[in-house]
Structures are given as C-alpha cells and as structure tokens.
Amino acid sequence: MTGSDSSPPAVLAAARSRGRSGGQKPKLGPRQVQLGSEMYDSCELAVQQIADEFGVSRPTIYRHLDKTAE
C-alpha cells in the first residue's frame, strides 16, 4: 500500500493506530520554557541571547512566551 493508494484520513488513521500523532516535536520542553520565561522576565538577557542559549530562533522564544502569558 502506498500513500497514493489511500485517502488521507485512512492513512492518518493507520498512522495513529501505530502510535503516530503527526507534527513536529516541540523545540523546547516545559522546563526550558519555564527557564526562558524567567530569563525574559528578569530583563537581564535579550530575546536573541535566550534563543542562542537554547539553540532556537527568536520567533520560537516569542511563540512560547505568548503561550505562557495566556
């Protein structure tokens, strides 16, 4: 069976039955998000410095900061 032989919902259902959920894994774990948020709140480091520390981009840091603010 190839991907072109099946409809997308059937392929996704088959993947889920094998334990796959889809999507990319988060770049930062919960502990890293917490640390990044604390670094940002302390105003000692710029967002770029925080991003460099974790090996991610500035938009990734801002995305996680937005989620923690909610």
% of the chain surpassing 90 pLDDT = 51
Residue 57 pLDDT more than 80?
A: yes
Q: What residues have CB less than 8 Å from 68, skipping those under 6 apart?
A: 33, 34, 37
Q: What residues have CB less than 8 Å from 33, skipping those under 6 apart?
A: 64, 67, 68
**Total number of residues shown for the chain:** 70
Mean of all residue pLDDT scores within the chain: 86
pLDDT tens-digit map of 20-51 = 777 788 889 999 999 999 999 999 999 999 99
For each of the domains in the chain, give its residue range(s) and CATH number, in order of start.
24-70 (1.10.10)
3 state DSSP class of 22: coil
Banded pLDDT at 4 (limits 50, 70, 90): low
